Every structure is written in structure tokens, then in C-alpha cells.
Amino acid sequence: MGTMSGKRALVTGGASGIGRATAELLAARGAAVAVADLDEAGARAVADVCGTGALALAVDVAYAEECRRAVDRTVEAFGGLDVLVNNAGIIRRADVVETTEDEWDRVMAVNVKSVFLMSRCAIPVMAAGGGGAIVNTGSGWGLKGGPNAASYCASKGAVVNLTRAMAVDHGPQGIRVNCVCPGDTDTPMLRSEAEQLGQAEGAFLADAASRPLRRIGQPEDVARAIVYLASDAASFVTGSVLVVDGGGLAG
């Protein structure tokens, strides 16, 4: 991955799981990091781990004004923005019949609209600074369907193709846009799925580990992929979809 020294990064959904691991790894590699999350206390705790100068931001990424404020505060604190990690996400485990309109709208707002809103604010800043890198968190279920997760699958499929469209549009500005698609990863969101489905957590996690590498992912597994795509080591990589799932999609 190399150093991230001198890079200025903003991570959404940074208070836990993949976002937390990404923020901490970016900081360990030398980046100045803004940690954005609906959970302000959690964001602050991660910023404390990231070290002096890290920024904690309370943000509901479904709302344009909050996204604008997050980018503005990051630029004010760091003097610019080089890396945006659109990681915030939620899941509702239900088919289309059981999903309410409000649930559908909220999943789409947090998982897809937020990528649009955050990127719309960040891209002009990056372009003015000579370029940058955006990494969006998709999902294996953005590349194939899954049971009882209609809104989530739809949202992550949208993230995958939005990534490609943004890469085409903004490559001439020196902005690379890529997507990481994790498989089941040991995060609070994954554990919440067991509760939503009414399954015992232990059995649910054991089933999630039934893939070629015989384990579920750890947040750090995905964070390393994100930081690679954000780094200069991936300077000729854009519009890519990097699957990090222990072989789950392989067969």
C-alpha cells in the first residue's frame, strides 16, 4: 500500500466496522483523517485512536446539507481533500413484499444517495487540488442477488455502476473512483442481520463462513483493499470493482 503521508481523507460510516478499520489504517499510514458517522461519540472515539489532528464529524449522509458541512469542515481543518471513502451503509433483511416504502427509501438514501451527495461536494475540491481518489463500499450482493435483502441488493448494485460512471466522468480531472465489494465481514451490521432474520448469531456467523477460505472477513481485510485503492500504488486503477470475500463469489 505504501505511505499515505500528506493525504487528507474523509471516511463515512467511520465509527465502527469497516469504516473504523479504514480510518485507523489511513491514519497509521500517515493520512490526516476525518471520521464521519451518525454516531458522534463513536466517531470521536475513532478519531482519538487516529491521533492528534483527526476530526470527528456527526453526519447523517442521507442529507445534502450535512454532507456539504462534512466536506467543508474537513477542507477547513486539513486545507484540502485527497481521499473520500463512501462507506456508510445499512441493511434491511426483507423481500420486496415485506419491505416498507420508508425502509426502502432509507436504505437507498444511506447506501446510494450518500455516495452521490458526498462525491458531489468532494469532487470540485479534489479537482481544484489536482486530483484525488474516491473509494465506494459496495457488496458481493451488488454483483449477484441474495435472499431477503431486496433493498440492500438494489442499493449496492447501484453503487457498483455509479462507481463506473463517476470514473468515466472524472478521470480527466485526475480523480480515480473505485469500488470494494466485501463479502460477509464481522461487523455490527452483519450481527444485526441475524437478529433481523430471527436466527441464532452463532449459527448465522458459522453459515457466513462457508466459503473457500472457511472464515468470514475481518474489517481489516477490507480496509487494506480500500487503502490500496486510495493510495498512489493504485495510480492507474479506476472504475474497478475489487471483490474481498474469501472466495464467496467464486463458486
CB contact at 8 A, 70 and 120? no
Q: Can you state the angle between helices 219-230 and 17-28, rounded to 10 degrees?
A: 50
Task: Choose among 154, 3, 187: nearest CA to 87.
Answer: 187
Q: Can you state the angle between helices 150-170 and 101-108, rounded to 10 degrees?
A: 30
Q: From CA 146, how far away is CA 84, in angstroms rounded?
A: 28
Catalytic, out of 91, 152, 175, 230: 152
Q: Residue 239 CB: number of other CB atoms within 10 A?
A: 15
Q: From CA 224, how far away is CA 130, in angstroms rounded?
A: 25
- Burial letters for 119-147: b for 16+ Cβ neighbours within 10 Å, e otherwise? bebbbebbeebeebbbbbbbbbbbbeeee
Considering only CA atoms, give the Rg of the chain.
Answer: 17
63 catalytic residue (yes or no): no
Q: From CA 22, how far away is CA 10, in angstroms rounded?
A: 10
Give the active site residues. 152
